[in-house]
Chain A
């Protein structure tokens, strides 16, 4: 039965690449919840997962990258992320649109990636903030005091994520997987 199940070396490389992407997602999630959330920077907890997912989507394209972003956000949501259900929709849509924009209008360089990551972060956090504003006693001034600085602070992770994703993508290349 398994005689016909043959993968070429290039396909194995593709599998390795997506396994590495998934492993890096796990690492980013652990860094976000175990390290940076325990000791917030200037009292603000950065959001790293959306940045990583957008970087992967831009590198791998709207189809494969978008599908990875969908899976990644569902995993993030199920790991207990606050209002993670909203992030599933917002981050995935932003990741897909970022990948499309970087191919059609922008480039896949660091500046374009950073721009897309910042827009995604800002949109995701703003939508969560609006829901919190409606459902819980939260001060509107926190938009300027916590949300915006938080998005800017999170962007410090963008170059690291960009380099990491580029390194992983080079290990596998684009071989149909």
Chain B
């Protein structure tokens, strides 16, 4: 076997270990994306955009060919739902007028008019089983930078931009355990910290920690951002599905299903500017 391990082979092994160590040091020391990573991601971005564009076209063609009947049935169901919702809107209008009056009484201002959004398509997903993140096809050239929040068109939190280059940005989703968001239960006002439960045994769910011991939590209660320098106030994070006492026994935690449907996500909107209230 020794004859196959030549001087060059040993050199490659040493270079591999050195490269791994150097990349680890760079990853620990630097706060933002390094030049090498930025270059590779910038070069890859058009290929990823083209590949994901092709996949989207293929999916549409497949849906058109194989899901026509189910789409027709879905269309009928949606039409019936629109009629129901129109009735709801009529009743909501009166509630909204009442709400507006109450707002005026309380001197509250309307929210979310200050958002500036940049829309972007998802071009690739992180292939690790231990991380939930994706890359979008827009970056600093479109005003997207690290620390900005990505949402859906319905104002549901998708995640946070954690790295950005000229034509790409990485969004770490709310499911990732690296993300921590100050949040409150909309109906009761209990505050806590929401973090992703990826790879902790509750995949696909979020965990809201540090809730008061005597808090009363109901299923489907909406959980919203409380507002910080990163997350604007009032964005929907998820809905409570379960609750229990945490490991310490002195605080409660709740499991949430994320409001944004991350499985079928194609496009996100990044809040590039907002007034911090």
> Which A residues are closer than 8 A to B by beta carbons?
26, 29-30, 32-38, 43-48, 62-63, 66-67, 70, 73-75, 77-86, 88-90, 92-93, 96, 99-101, 103-105, 128-129, 132, 136-139, 141-142, 146-147, 150
Binds A, one of B15-23, B72-80, B98-106, B225-233: B15-23
Question: Smallest Cβ distance from B137 to chain A, in angstroms?
Answer: 11
Q: What are 12 A-B contacts with C-beta separation under 8 Å?
A: A34-B48, A37-B126, A70-B16, A78-B37, A79-B37, A79-B40, A85-B24, A89-B16, A92-B16, A105-B1, A136-B177, A138-B200
Q: Is B6 an interface residue (CB 8 A)?
A: yes
Total A-B residue contacts, Cβ distance less than 8 Å: 151
| In the complex, per-residue mask of B197-213: 1 if CB is within 8 Å of any chain A CB, else 0 | 00111010000000000
Please give me the residue from chain B that is nearest to A38 by CB atom: B125
- With a CB–CB cut-off of 8 A, which chain A residues contact B47? 26, 30
| Known contacts A79-B44, A82-B130: A43-B203 contact under CB 8 Å | yes
| In the complex, per-residue mask of B113-128: 1 if CB is within 8 Å of any chain A CB, else 0 | 0000000001111111
Give 16 A-B pairs besides A33-B135, A84-B23 with Cβ atoms closer than 8 angstroms.
Answer: A29-B44, A34-B51, A34-B125, A35-B55, A74-B19, A78-B39, A78-B40, A79-B40, A80-B163, A85-B27, A86-B20, A93-B16, A137-B200, A138-B199, A138-B200, A139-B199
Question: Smallest Cβ distance from A62 to chain B, in angstroms?
Answer: 5
Q: Is B170 an interface residue (CB 8 A)?
A: yes
Please state if B129 and A67 are interface contacts (CB–CB under 8 Å). Answer: no
- With a CB–CB cut-off of 8 A, which chain A residues contact B20? 85-86, 88-90
> Which B residues are closer than 8 A to A by beta carbons?
1, 4-6, 8-9, 12-13, 15-17, 19-21, 23-24, 27, 36-37, 39-41, 44, 47-48, 51-52, 55, 122-131, 135, 163, 170, 177-178, 199-201, 203
- With a CB–CB cut-off of 8 A, which chain B residues contact A70? 12, 15-16, 19
Question: Smallest Cβ distance from A64 to chain B, in angstroms?
Answer: 9
Please give me the residue from chain B that is nearest to A101 by CB atom: B1
- With a CB–CB cut-off of 8 A, which chain A residues contact B19? 70, 74, 88-89, 92
| Known contacts A86-B24, A105-B1: A80-B41 contact under CB 8 Å | yes
Question: Smallest Cβ distance from B52 to chain A, in angstroms?
Answer: 5
| Known contacts A83-B128, A142-B199: A100-B55 contact under CB 8 Å | no
